[in-house]
Amino acid sequence: MRFIYGLSWFLIYVIRAFVLWILIPYAVLAWLFVHSWVQKSTIGQSICWYDQNFLAFMILVPFRYLRFVNPKLRSAKFLRLSEMRVVKTYRISFLSEMV
């Protein structure tokens, strides 16, 4: 079971590495045209909001069995668009704060 758990996190990070190449430019453009004047958020909050929602999607949909193995992941949820302004920014690294 520990092997499957570790393999799942490895797959999440490999998929995330490729998706971030698309997600970050998209988040910057979305911030430039929409979020900077509608939500009054910073560019860092916008990128972190998209990243956190992508990780929540990965944990809640294709790798949903991780929530049953790790009790901390049972509270994983999507962030509403109205919560973008209060998102705590972080550096996107190999291990993020959601883990």
Residues of the domain holding 22: 2-86
Task: Work out how many domains the chain is built from and give that number.
Answer: 1
Task: Give the model's pLDDT for residue 99.
Answer: 47
Average pLDDT for residues 45-52, to the nearest whole number?
Answer: 94
| pTM as predicted | 0.85
Indicate whether 97 belongs to any domain.
Answer: no
Q: Strand, helix or coil at 41? A: coil
Distance CA 99, CA 96 (A): 6
Q: Is the pLDDT of residue 96 over 70?
A: no
Distance CA 55, CA 65 (A): 14
Q: Tally Cβ neighbours within 10 Å of residue 57.
A: 14
DSSP state letter for 94: S
Average pLDDT for residues 3-21, to the nearest whole number?
Answer: 92
Indicate whether 68 belongs to any domain.
Answer: yes
Indicate whether 96 belongs to any domain.
Answer: no
Distance CA 86, CA 45 (A): 8
Q: How confident is the model at residue 30 (pLDDT cuts 50, 70, 90)?
A: very high
Q: Is the pLDDT of residue 70 over 90?
A: no
